[in-house]
Structure formats: structure tokens, C-alpha cells
Structure 1
């Protein structure tokens, strides 16, 4: 796995400011590739790699959810947590305007604005996890409690039930 501490994103600067320890992994990437492909590329276990999704409530508020790459966000659970009647996924073309990040580089750390954020409860028991580093080609490895602190997030049950 390639490591590179030289490229600093907003997420990394915020982690540095909070004196949170993290490790970066970089890979060649010019356009969006899904998180499962990234995990395969970096030879990372799927259960440790998390994606960041941004939703919009009926009242035009935005909410952020961090969940395992193989899981789906349960919009009903998410809406209940957010105190909204319903939530919808933010359109890809709006991600940069809302978060300051682009699709595939979106992370809950250091967005343009601090949105209410939830991390799937499955992360709480992990010793470490991987999330986007704030730009294409960069992933960050950190402790779940540190992600919670950096993103001002809460652990909660936010995913669909398994059908296995």
C-alpha cells in the first residue's frame, strides 16, 4: 500500500489541527471509482472501509452518513435520526457545492459546513477504519472514535438489514 504524507486535504488539515493520528493511502485515480474497487486496489478488508453519503431533508437541511461500503443506507432510520419526515440522496452534481468535496472524494471531515453526521454503529467496535481523504486518490486510516470527534458525529444504526 502506498503511503504519502505530502498531499494535504481539508480533512487532513483538520485532523492535524485536532492532533488526531491518521495514516494516508494514495492510489492513481483521475475519475470516480466506487469504494469496493478502491478497497480491492489497496488490498483493504471491506468491513474496514466506509463511504460517506450526503442526504437532504424535506426542510432543505443536509445530513451526512458514514457506512460500510457493502451496506446501504436505510433512509427511514436516517430520517428518524435527523428528525425529518423523509430524506433523499443529494444529486452527484450538487455534492461539491454542498460539501466542498467531489464524488469519490467526499468525507465527513472538514466539509464546507458542519452538517449533522452519523457513523454506522458497526464502526464503533473497530480498532481502525478507512474513509475518503477528501480528494480522489486519497484514503485516510484512523480510529472510529477519532472520526467521530473530527466530524462531530454520533454512532447509530443507519444501514439496511442484511438479507443473508
Structure 2
């Protein structure tokens, strides 16, 4: 498997992890699909969303695969009055990653990260390794340390 910037960052920090490759379906990049392919429940596979607050700018919101970002909850955490996810066309220019491969590890800029509190319910969580078809499994504590994440309730059930 090819080394991504995310993998290199974890190796530099001496953080243990497991890589899991999966076959990419360009028509279904959903976290639920990825979860099935890597053999984990969707609530244990976390997706990284790019959000923008009207006052404090870009944030990365990391939420369970079976949920969506709660913009009001995210705004409370960031101190913004309003937070929305950015349009898809802005994701790659902001992060350096394509949809389905976005991760806070090795991002183009060191954006602040908020990890949904449900991550701490698991011994291991799965996040994108920075490329479609590759996931990193690591402890929530190691992920928090690697990206300097805040932990808060920022997700809600999908509507």
C-alpha cells in the first residue's frame, strides 16, 4: 500500500495504527459503504467534513459514518453564530484531499479539528488515510493527540 501524508504523519509521531484497504465505488463514497468494506459498524467509521464558521473560518468536523454534522452544535463549539459545510468544489482546494479521502492528518493547512464525542466509546476508530480506498484504524486518544482535536457532541442522526 502506498504511504499517504496521513500515514507519514502518524509514523513521525510514533503513533501505532492499522491500514485497511478497500475497493472504491465512485458512485458510492458513503461512510456506510466504507464501513461494510472494512468490516466495522458505521458508527465506528468517522468521516471528516469541512465546515466554515462565519466568524472563525474553516474547521474540520469528524463525525460517525451513520450521522451527519449538527451545524448548531458545531457553532456552539467554535464560537460562531452559524456554521455550514463548505460546497464540495471547495473541499480539495482547502484540504488537498478529494471527497472520500479527506482527513485532518496531513491536511494542506492545520485547521482546527472537532471530533464527535462518540469516538471515545470505541477502542479503535477508522478514519480516511488521505486517499480513497484506504482507512486508518487507531485509538481515539492517539487521533486526538495527532491532530489536536477538541472532543464535543457535534453529530446528529441523518435526516
The answer for the alignment partner of 1:81 in structure 2 is 77
The answer as to whether partners of 1:30 and 1:136 remain within 8 angstroms in 2 is no
The answer for the alignment partner of 2:87 in structure 1 is 91
What SS class does the counterpart of residue 130 from structure 1 fall into?
strand
Equivalent residue for 2:136, pick from 134, 140, 146: 140
Equivalent residue for 1:25, pick from 15, 20, 23: 20
C-alpha RMSD of the superposition? 1.7
Equivalent residue for 2:57, pick from 56, 61, 67: 61
The answer as to whether partners of 1:118 and 1:155 remain within 8 angstroms in 2 is yes
Describe the shift of the 1:130–1:84 C-alpha distance in structure 2 as closer, same or farther (beyond 3 A): same
| Superposed displacement of residue 88, structure 1 | 1.2
Q: Kindly indicate which of the two structures has a greater share of residues assigned to strand.
A: 2
The answer for the alignment partner of 2:99 in structure 1 is 103
The answer for the alignment partner of 1:11 in structure 2 is 6
Aligned length: 158
Structure 1 position 156 matched with structure 2 position 152: yes
Q: What are structure 1's unaligned runs of at least 5 residues? A: 1-5
| Superposed displacement of residue 30, structure 1 | 6.2
**Post-superposition CA distance 1:76-108 (Å, at most 9, x none):** 110111111101111111111101111000011
Structure 1 position 114 matched with structure 2 position 110: yes
**Post-superposition CA distance 1:30-88 (Å, at most 9, x none):** 63611101111222122211111110111371011111111121101101111111011
> 1:30-45 alignment to 2 at 5 Å?
31=26, 33-45=29-41
Describe the shift of the 1:90–1:162 C-alpha distance in structure 2 as closer, same or farther (beyond 3 A): closer
Q: TM-score, normalised by structure 2?
A: 0.93
Q: TM-score, normalised by structure 1?
A: 0.90
Task: State how far apart, in whole Å, the 1-side matches of 2:100 and 2:14 are.
Answer: 25
| Superposed displacement of residue 24, structure 1 | 0.5
